[in-house]
Structure 1
Amino acid sequence: MKDKTIEYVLRTTWLAVQKMYNEEAAKFESTMATGFTLLSIDPEKGTSSTALGPKMGMEATSLSRILKTMEKNDLIERHPNPEDGRGVIIRLTPFGREKRAYSKEKVLTFNETIKKNVSEEKLKHFFEVSELINEMISNKKIYNQTDSSLK
Structure 2
Amino acid sequence: MPASPTREPVREPGVDELSATVDALVQLSFLVQGVLGRMASEHDLSLIQVRLLGILRDRRPGMLELARLLGLDKSSMTGLVSRAEKRGLVRRIPSPDDGRAVLVELTDAGRELTGRCTAEMDGEIATLTASLTGAERAQATVLAGKILSNAQVGGAS
Q: 1:39 maps to what in 2? A: 54
The one of 82, 85, 89 aligned to 2:96: 82
Q: Does 1:108 align with 2:122?
A: yes
| Deviation for aligned residue 1:137 | 4.1
- Length-normalised TM-score, structure 1: 0.70
CA gap of 1:8–1:38, structure 2 versus 1, over 3 A, is same
Q: Secondary structure at the match of 1:91?
A: strand
Structure whose CA Rg is larger: 2
Q: Distance in 2 between matches of 1:50 and 1:73?
A: 22
Q: How many pairs were matched up? A: 137
Decide whether the 8 Å contact of 1:21 with 1:31 is kept in 2.
Answer: no
Q: Distance in 1 between matches of 2:83 and 2:145?
A: 32
Q: Which runs of 5+ in 2 are unaligned?
A: 1-15
Amino acid at match of 1:39: G
CA gap of 1:89–1:25, structure 2 versus 1, over 3 A, is same
Q: Which runs of 5+ in 1 are unaligned?
A: 141-151
CA gap of 1:6–1:65, structure 2 versus 1, over 3 A, is farther
Q: Does 1:67 align with 2:65?
A: no
Q: Distance in 2 between matches of 1:80 and 1:137?
A: 32
Q: 1:143 maps to what in 2? A: none
| Deviation for aligned residue 1:88 | 1.1
Provide the aligned C-alpha RMSD in A. 2.9
Decide whether the 8 Å contact of 1:41 with 1:52 is kept in 2.
Answer: no
The one of 44, 67, 70 aligned to 1:58: 70
Decide whether the 8 Å contact of 2:57 with 2:111 is kept in 1.
Answer: no
CA gap of 1:130–1:93, structure 2 versus 1, over 3 A, is closer
Q: Distance in 1 between matches of 2:33 and 2:67?
A: 19
- Length-normalised TM-score, structure 2: 0.68
Percent of pairs with identical residues: 18
